[in-house]
Amino acid sequence: MTPLTLSPGAVSLAQLAEIYWDQPAIQLDTTCKPAVEAAARRIAEVAAGEQAVYGVNTGFGKLASHKIAPEDTSTLQRNLILSHCCGVGEAVPRRLVRLMMSLKLLSFGRGASGVRWELIELLQQMLARGVTPVIPAQGSVGASGDLAPLAHMTAVVIGEGEAEVNGATLPGAEALKAAGLAPIALGPKEGLAFINGTQFSTAYALAGLFQAWRAAQNALMVSALSTDAIMGSTAPLQPEIHALRGHRGQMDAASAMRAALAGSVIRESHRDGDTRVQDPYCIRCQPQVTGAAMDVMRQAAVTLTTEANAATDNPLVLSEPQAIVSGGNFHAEPVGFAADMIALALSEIGAIAQRRIALMVDPTLSFDLPPFLTPDPGLNSGLMIAEVTTAALMSENKHLANPCVTDSTPTSANQEDHVSMAAHGARRLTRMVGNLNYILGIELLCAAQGVEFRTPLVTSAPLQRAIACLRSHIPALEEDRYLAPELEVAKGLIDSGAVLEAVGVEMPGLF
């Protein structure tokens, strides 16, 4: 695969999505090399001098007042990495580790970290040759940087820790050797440059964003199918309604739903003579709710794109004047806010989807669909408990949507007395997307079953393709059967985007 060339400070959200979904090799545009090398030279000069500069020739955190002799600076950096490898829990998924590494490369490429170019080359080669550090997922509070997870990543660079290569998990030095690479001993400040940063939190937040956007697109498609299942009206999708309000997400959502429903025979069958005046909000207000969630995600995307291009370690080598200054760019508060925003969006998309499911299984609200969408209710319970499962998942996501960024606690002997909690704020997003995709998968099952009960009337051609995609994996529910595996399959069709691809309607883009 041809490496993706990135320009530090100018990487787009589309490129970040490509890194996440496609996992390409990465290389920095070499126009950044002079600035990187100039900063490294400045660090080397200071390390050889008498002046104490934080992180270069001093201890760290509360131990910053301890001056370190020039001959001990390399040991200082090695000790820093080893002592900070205190992560716990399950390993970070491979594609997320690769995104982390890519984000660290971008940060180094800004020319303010003071690392040697050979370290950048080693990270690039690790990505190219499939050396993926094993990183425990828990242990970061999102300031000062994602210390523990980034330390585990860096451990492999110096031949410690563990990494996966060619399907095997090996000690760091052996993994590098298996890929034809060699560890590099860290010089002054380089260990600190690796672990001070927000790349773990930002990688998880970006992953959550990309997954959440796909879920939102699925929600638009599935809700259109639900609209036909209950013989809902398309009048609330008229363009002028949404233009009069003017929110981009709402207009985009309504447009996608109109396209999905265009040509539905079911819809045309009840334009006249329908005694119902209005549909419930879960049908009528889908563009306003999921559209608003999409706008929130787009706002979060702006923050995360900025952060992905940022130099976030400490101290930073400034160009004007030539000074090495201790600041606070490692504080992941912007990432924490973005993650909280995405979490709220996910929760609301699931909440309104769950109400559509409840609508379809309730014979008093579904406009003549059989109870719980079974052809023989009483003897069969149909999708009764599948709906209950979605209620549980909806409630769980509501709980998970509570803000994390407000929950600070002092650490490191009160030196780091306010932290962002961005790391687990971002990590929860993957779990929330999983819950949401179960809800949407079950809604797809209900909506397809409901539409099929309207035979000989048929839905639109795009939505017929959605049902065909589903039915190629899961047959219609004629009588009660063991459903748990089918719920997993339905979720998988949502996860993968397979149903979206089958529908073939252009969905709103994140970028």
For residue 321 the two structure tokens come to 């004047």
As a whole number of angstroms, the distance between CA 427 and CA 446 comes to 30
As a whole number of angstroms, the distance between CA 428 and CA 211 comes to 12
What positions carry a catalytic annotation? 54
Asked if 12 and 305 touch (Cβ cutoff 8 Å), the reply is yes
Asked if 411 and 457 touch (Cβ cutoff 8 Å), the reply is no
As a whole number of angstroms, the distance between CA 107 and CA 195 comes to 12
Question: The tokens 């001098």 sit on which residue?
Answer: 49
Question: The tokens 């806010």 sit on which residue?
Answer: 337
As a whole number of angstroms, the distance between CA 169 and CA 85 comes to 17
**Angle at CA 293, nearest 5°, toward 338 and 302?**
40
What is the β-pairing status of strands 4-6 and 26-28? parallel
Asked if 291 and 258 touch (Cβ cutoff 8 Å), the reply is no
For residue 430 the two structure tokens come to 């993957």
Asked if 8 and 31 touch (Cβ cutoff 8 Å), the reply is no
If you write DSSP's letter for every residue of 446-495 in order, what string do you get? Answer: HHHHHHHTTTTS---HHHHHHHHHHHTTS---SS----HHHHHHHHHHHH
For residue 123 the two structure tokens come to 């990270």
